[in-house]
Each structure stands twice: as structure tokens, then as C-alpha cells.
Structure 1
Amino acid sequence: MTSARAQVADSQRDAAITTTIGKLPQPAPKTFFDRRELAEILAVYGRKVASGEWRDYAIDDGRDKAVFSVFRRASEFPLYRIEKNPRLMRKQAGYAVVAATGLILKRGSDLRRVLGVLDTRLRVISP
């Protein structure tokens, strides 16, 4: 009889654990770059690698934004960060290019235009 009671108590305890686990909040979905966005970013990245300016990259995903960081060397801090923030998409500024200093170089809703800031070439201006 005692073993039957122990089995009933064990099954009730297991049911309580199952119920508790079922009520845990679900983690918020993460933000990622989609295939089209990655193709546009990697096109710019490929040109910069071919010219010898960039050598490495990292992709980070989070609940509030996705970040594509570019590096001159793997051991350094990122030269630029290309950020996607879905909360700002409604405000026409979902993408941003951020310099190493934290300065936002360009922000907008069209990724190709935002990435254009990375393709600008410096010109010598004579006095």
C-alpha cells in the first residue's frame, strides 16, 4: 500500500512540475537580417575586402536589434556597425550605420541608401 501511495504522490508532483513549466513566459523573438539584407551588406563588404580596407566581420542578433560589425583586423574593435532596429521601421529609420566612435553616419528605411555612406570616397579639396 505504501508504494502505491508513493507512486500517486510522485505522479502528482510530476504533474505540478509540468503545469509550472507550461506557464513560463516565452522568450521574445530575436531580430535577424533576412536574405536580401545580407546580400546587400555582403556586396559592400566584398568590395571593401577586395580593396584591402576590411578583413573580418561579426553578426550579432538580439531582441531589439541585429548588428553586422566590420573590422580591419579580427583583434580590433569594429570600424562600423550596420544595425537593424525593427521598432524604428515605423518611423522610417530602421537601418543605421554607426562609426567606431558611436556617431551615427546615416540612418534610414532603405538599406541600400544607408549603406551608400560606406561607399563614399574622400576627395582632396584644394584651397
Structure 2
Amino acid sequence: MRFSMFSQKLTPREFIRKAIDEKLPRHVEGFIERLLAKAYGLRPVKVELPDLELDVALQGFKRLELVGEVKWRKGIKASEIHRIEEKLSRFKCKRVLVVPNERVLERKPDGIEVLTPWELLEIAEESLETSLT
């Protein structure tokens, strides 16, 4: 019987936490963008403006129909909510902020619909029901 030995180097816990903290929000953003695009029958697009990056931008036939930000964190300060309001107010369409739950918000944003996983589930279920009937 032959055995081969492999060296197992343990990855530091801090490295794993940092990798998850950096990568998970991007995966969540992509998932939510695809979910909303399918639910509303829209097409994801990239908005290319100087010093402006949108997490979610969905287009209908010729114009933007929905823009949004995804903040998948434990807390969102009022100052950051203000920046999100300023950024999304540039667009004349539906504006959303996706968060893990409303308790993470220091205050509710003005003119922006807050979506939690529960609201996303409702949107997906309504879309499924509509497509089946």
C-alpha cells in the first residue's frame, strides 16, 4: 500500500473573514440584480458616468426603469443613506435600496423603496404567479 503525504497549511481565520467580507457583497449584488431583472422583465445594464457606480441598473425598451444600491451590512449610517439618496436622485425611475433588514438603517431613506429579503421573496413569488397564469 502506498501513501502520499500532502502538506496542509491552515488559512488564518482573519484572511477567510476578509475574503468573505469582500466577495459576499458582490455576489449578493449580482444575485439581486438578476432576480429583479427577471421579476420585472428588464435587462441589466451598466451605467457609465464619471464618479458614479450603481449596484443595480435595469433597463426596459429604451430607458432605465430601476436603479438601486445593495448594502449587505450590519449597519448603515445616516450619512451613507444621504449619499445613496443623492446618487439615486439623479435618475427618474424606480429607486431601491436592498438591505438584510430594516434595523440596519439609521434612518429610512427619502424617495427610495427599501427592500429586504422578505420583500424580494414577495416580488419573486408575484412574478412567478404572473408568469404561470
TM range (shorter): 0.3 to 0.5
Q: TM-score, normalised by structure 1?
A: 0.38
Larger radius of gyration: 1
RCO greater where, 1 or 2, for CA within 8 Å and sep 6 or more? 2
Q: TM-score, normalised by structure 2?
A: 0.37
